[in-house]
Amino acid sequence: MTHTLAQGFARNFLGNAPLWYKQAIIAFLVINPILFALAGPFVAGWALIAQFIFTLAMALKCYPLQPGGLLAIEAVVLGMTSPESVLHEIEQNFPVILLLVFMVAGIYFMKSLLLYVFTKLLVNVRSKVLLSLLFCFVSAVLSAFLDALTVTAVLISVGVGFYDVYHKVFSRGDVPPELAETHKEDLSKFRAFLRSLIMHGVVGTALGGVCTTVGEPQNLLIAETMGWGFIEFIMVMAPVTAPVFICGLITCVLLEVQQKGWFGYGMRIPDKVRSILIEFSEEQDKERTHKETAELIIQGIVAVFLVFALAFHIAEVGIIGLMVIVLLTAFNGVIEEHQIGHAFEEALPFTALLVVFFGVVAVIHDQHLFSPITNAVLSLDVTQQAPMLFVANGILSMISDNVFVATVYIGEVKAAFDAGTISREHFENLAVAINTGTNLPSVATPNGQAAFLFLLTSALAPLIRLSYGRMVIMALPYTLVLGGVGLGSLLLFI
CA distance 373 to 67: 29
Q: Is 408 exposed, middle or buried (0-12, 13-18, 19+ CB in 10 A)?
A: buried
What pLDDT does residue 316 have? 81
What pLDDT does residue 451 have? 84
What pLDDT does residue 390 have? 92
CA distance 391 to 369: 17
Q: At what angle do helices 468-493 and 382-399 cross, to 10 degrees?
A: 170
What pLDDT does residue 171 have? 61
**Which three-class secondary structure state does DSSP give residue 62?**
coil
**Residue 433 backbone phi and psi in degrees, to 5:** -65, -40
Q: Could you tell me the end-to-end alpha-carbon distance of the chain, in angstroms, rounded to an integer? A: 66
Q: In the chain, count H helices and then E strands.
A: 26, 0
Q: Is 75 exposed, middle or buried (0-12, 13-18, 19+ CB in 10 A)?
A: buried
Tens of each residue's pLDDT in the chain, 494 residues? 567 888 888 889 999 899 999 999 999 999 999 999 999 999 999 999 889 888 877 877 888 899 999 999 999 999 999 999 999 988 877 887 887 788 878 888 888 887 788 778 877 888 889 999 998 998 898 888 766 777 888 888 888 888 888 777 666 555 566 555 666 788 888 899 999 999 999 999 999 989 888 777 778 778 888 888 778 888 999 999 999 999 999 999 999 998 788 998 988 888 888 888 888 888 888 888 899 889 999 999 998 888 788 777 788 878 888 999 999 999 999 888 888 888 888 778 888 888 898 898 889 888 988 778 777 887 888 888 889 999 988 988 887 667 778 877 887 788 788 888 888 888 899 999 999 999 999 899 887 887 888 898 888 999 999 988 899 999 999 999 999 999 999 998 87
Classify residue 269 by its DSSP letter. Answer: P
| CB atoms near residue 220 (< 10 Å) | 17
Classify residue 442 by its DSSP letter. Answer: G
Judge contact between 466 and 460, C-beta under 8 A.
yes
Helical residues (DSSP H) of 182-289, grouped into ranges: 183-209, 217-226, 230-257, 271-287
